[in-house]
């Protein structure tokens, strides 16, 4: 949410810069006003880039923590043990992890749209692997009982 608010502010400043450029081209403002608008837009863009990077680090770290908790605490195993092989809570937990992953993919697209170097994806890939492995291990006994 924090990144989206900063990104929206960046877009508003870019729109204002287009208005300032149009005003300048139509002789309704001077170059000083145009330069101020441009400088403000650049400042907001840099702030947006910093927020995107910090948001990525935060989400990536939290996703790693989530995968570690799911794996180390055998959350899926406990849910399947308590609710059976088609455990709604196990499926819901897996779906929530997918939502986090989708949000991270959105952030990756924002890196690309901003022409920024993509962040390292190894931690994210490892987290996905841990969650997938924890879920499949918890369901191993289900195939035997069918």
Tokens of 130: 């841990």
List pLDDT tens digits, range 3-29: 878 888 777 887 888 787 787 888 888
Q: How far is CA 15 from CA 12, 20, 120, in A?
A: 5, 9, 32
Tokens of 81: 């043990």
pLDDT computed for residue 145 by the predictor? 54
Confidence of residue 62 (pLDDT cuts 50, 70, 90): very high
CA distance 44 to 35: 14
CA distance 36 to 55: 28
List pLDDT tens digits, range 22-53: 878 888 888 888 888 888 888 888 989 999 99
pTM: predicted TM-score of the whole model, two decimal places: 0.80
Q: Distance between the two ends of the chain, CA-based, in angstroms? A: 44
Q: What are phi and psi of 40, to 5 degrees?
A: -65, -40
CA–centroid distance for 37 within its chain: 29
CB burial of 9-24 (b: ≥16 within 10 Å; e: otherwise) equals ebeebbeebeebeeeb
């Amino acid at each position: 949410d924090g990144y989206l608010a900063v990104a929206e502010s960046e877009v508003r400043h870019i729109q204002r810069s287009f208005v300032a450029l149009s005003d300048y081209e139509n002789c309704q403002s001077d170059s000083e006003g145009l330069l101020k608008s441009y400088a403000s837009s650049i400042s907001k863009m840099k702030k947006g880039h910093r927020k995107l990077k910090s948001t990525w680090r935060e989400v990536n770290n939290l996703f790693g923590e989530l995968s570690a908790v799911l794996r180390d605490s055998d959350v899926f195993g406990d849910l399947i043990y308590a609710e059976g092989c088609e455990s709604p809570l196990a499926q819901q937990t897996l779906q929530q992890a997918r939502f986090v992953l989708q949000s991270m993919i959105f952030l990756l697209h924002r890196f690309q749209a901003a022409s920024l170097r993509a962040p390292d994806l190894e931690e994210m890939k490892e987290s996905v692997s841990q969650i997938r492995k924890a879920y499949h291990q918890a369901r191993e006994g289900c195939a035997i009982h069918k």
